[in-house]
Amino acid sequence: MEGNLLKMLEDNKHTFSKGHRLIAQYVIEHFDKTAFMTASKLGENVGVSESTVVRFATLLGFKGYPEFQKNLQELMRNRLTAVQRMELTDNRIGEGDLLEQVMSIDVDRIRETLGGISKDDFNSAVERIANASSIYIIGNRSSSALASFCEYYLNLMFPYVKRVKPSSASEMLEQIMRIDDNDVIIGFSFPRYSTQTLAGLKFAQDKGAGVVAFTDSENSPLAKYADCLLLARSDMASFVDSLVAPLSLLNALLVAVSIKKKDMISNNLKLLETIWDKYNAYDTREK
């Protein structure tokens, strides 16, 4: 329902009662603001009771107002421009303690991610990555930071790891044209979703490769291409995407893969330590 919620309200508002019709019209016109309103605040703005708002949510098929609100938030996050996101965050946080509020939101997102992650998908992702002939990694825009982090550590573990660089659609697919059913691709994308990442995952799926997708929701467009769907809660801090929870989940995945391939990786790291010592990669002077 998520992607079609506003259209559904528009198409069916004439069938609603007067109070529900007022709510529907307000949501259509102000869905960005409504996404963060309590039921009582929405009722106050529309001119109906809180109970009327709650009944409206259940009428639409939601278990309650919180589920309806979450649906709106998912819809909103993929539609707002960077400027709109900055304005919305300013309204939500105002002039309070930004440090405390932003970091508290990040802590909550990690807790929500831990509570909602599929252990089966997580374990399956570990197996696929550990046993892949080649590992491809794709993530654009803000998600490129996650892709870069993933590439760095997997390169320490495995002989063939390739980061798919942002480019034109055809050039991007040329980078993964040899992917096959012995390989795996790890894709990262959060609202607003990257069309290039989607194209890369679809191509990999068509070629029979395993697809591990890091995204925010089962309704994410990445989900339909994923063999292993790793969901991490993200939020907006102004126009900045908060990727704390996705990074924490990625960290857990990398640790699990390293334990799975412990003997091989230990040998790799011993060799790397020799190289790092020889070429003074790190400052080892005593403080």
Question: Which tens digit of pLDDT belongs to each residue from 248-263?
Answer: 999 999 999 999 988 8
Residue 285 has pLDDT above 80, yes or no: no
Q: DSSP character for 138?
A: E
111-261 CATH fold: Rossmann fold (3.40.50)
Q: Are 220 and 193 in contact (CB under 8 A)?
A: yes
Check whether 93 has a pLDDT greater than 60: no
Q: What is the mean pLDDT of residues 197-213?
A: 96
Supply the DSSP symbol for 16.
S
Helices 82-93 and 98-116 sit at what angle, rounded to 10 degrees?
110
Q: What pLDDT was estimated at residue 91?
A: 53
188 strand-pairing partners: 139, 214
CATH 1.10.10.10, the chain: domain bounds: 2-77
- Chain-centre distance of CA 221, in angstroms? 11
Q: Which residue reads 């790890």 in tokens? A: 186
What is the fold, at CATH topology level, of the domain defined by 2-77? Arc Repressor Mutant, subunit A (1.10.10)
Q: Give the chain's largest Cα–Cα span.
A: 77
Report pLDDT for 79: 61
Percent of the chain with pLDDT over 70: 87
How would residue 283 be classed by pLDDT, with cut points 50, 70 and 90? confident
CATH 3.40.50.10490 range(s) for the chain read: 111-261
Mean pLDDT for the chain?
A: 86
CA distances from 134 to 169, 181, 185, 249, 255 (A): 21, 10, 8, 22, 19
